[in-house]
Amino acid sequence: MTFDRQQIKIKLKATAIHFLISLAVFLVLAGLVYFVWYPQPYFSVDGGWQGIRIIAAVDLVLGPMMTLVIFNIKKPRKEIITDLTIIAVIQLSALSYGVIVTYNQRPVAVILNDPLALSTVAEIYGDSLKSLDDLQNYSDEKPPIIAMEIPLNRQALDEVMRLEKDQGLMEHAQQQLYLPRQQLAGFIEKSQATMTAILGQRHGQKDFDNWLVENKTTAEQVLLFAFNGRYGFVWLVFDQDGQYLGYF
């Protein structure tokens, strides 16, 4: 099939319009992902960047490319409308899937469990959690930062194993192991010997020193906890009262 210049010009114009509309949608979704669902450092190391790439591939590439390939101004008006409708349905379906996956995989809590902190997603709680708002009882951070401690007595350990076996609840999703917010600072403080050892093993002292300089504080004034994200590793920094200060 051959195209005259005017037809190519119209096709490119239609593609450009589609791309600009898609870009506007993408910017809204990107802001939601970056600022609400995956605030830093979780965007970088716990799935936010991967979610953005999925959304961008569908919204900025798939849709406009279909318009570029399919759109033909010489077709009857009814066929053009049909083509554009099909493109919109395919793009919106794929985009909805990408957004839902990204939303469902967002960290809803950060669980400190010596020696590493991990994030949790909503689905791992199953029916054991009435509302995600209940997690905010442990912390004012978003996502909430919660310390957990596995008791050493046999009865409590048996209960942990029973819940994992019968209900599929992994340890870091078992709320009976979560410590009250008042105990967060003490828990982090008790872990500092372990954190210092990990900091040395991972050669993180230089990054820590740089963070201290940038934030005009000293090592004696802060507490550290290692966060092992799904796609990377960072250090969470707290003050002596357990208030979250930042990361490096």
List the one residue out of 163, 168, 234, 239 whose CA is nearest residue 198: 234
The DSSP result for 192-248, as a single string, is HHHHHHHHHHTT-HHHHHHHHHHTT--GGGEEEEEEE-SS-EEEEEEETTS-EEEE-
Query: Rounded to 5 degrees, what angle do the CA atoms 118, 135, 109 make?
Result: 20
Q: Which two tokens stand for residue 1?
A: 């099939």
What single letter denotes the amino acid at residue 218?
T
Q: CB–CB of 13/65 below 8 Å?
A: no
Q: DSSP letter string over 88-119? A: HHHHHHHHHHHHHHHHHTS-SEEEEETTEEEE
Question: What is the distance between the alpha carbons of residues 53 and 99, in angstroms, rounded to a whole number?
Answer: 11
pLDDT tens digits, residue range 206-234?
Answer: 999 999 999 999 999 999 999 999 999 99
Q: What is the strand order of the sheet 222-228 is part of?
A: 145-147, 109-113, 116-120, 222-228, 233-239, 244-247
pLDDT of residue 5: 85
Report the C-alpha gap between 112 and 10 in whole angstroms.
57
Supply the pTM of this predicted model: 0.90
CA–CA dist 247, 154 (Å, integer): 36
Distance of alpha carbon 58 from alpha carbon 90, whole angstroms: 10
Main-chain phi, psi angles of 218, to 5 degrees:
-125, 165
pLDDT at 151: 87
Rounded Cα distance between 16 and 169, Å, is: 48
Give per-10-residue mean pLDDT for the chain (248 aa).
77 95 97 98 98 95 94 93 95 96 98 96 94 96 96 91 94 96 97 97 97 98 98 98 98
Cα 150 versus chain centre, distance: 26
Domain ranges within the chain, ordered by starting residue:
5-104, 109-247
pLDDT at 182 (0 to 100)? 97
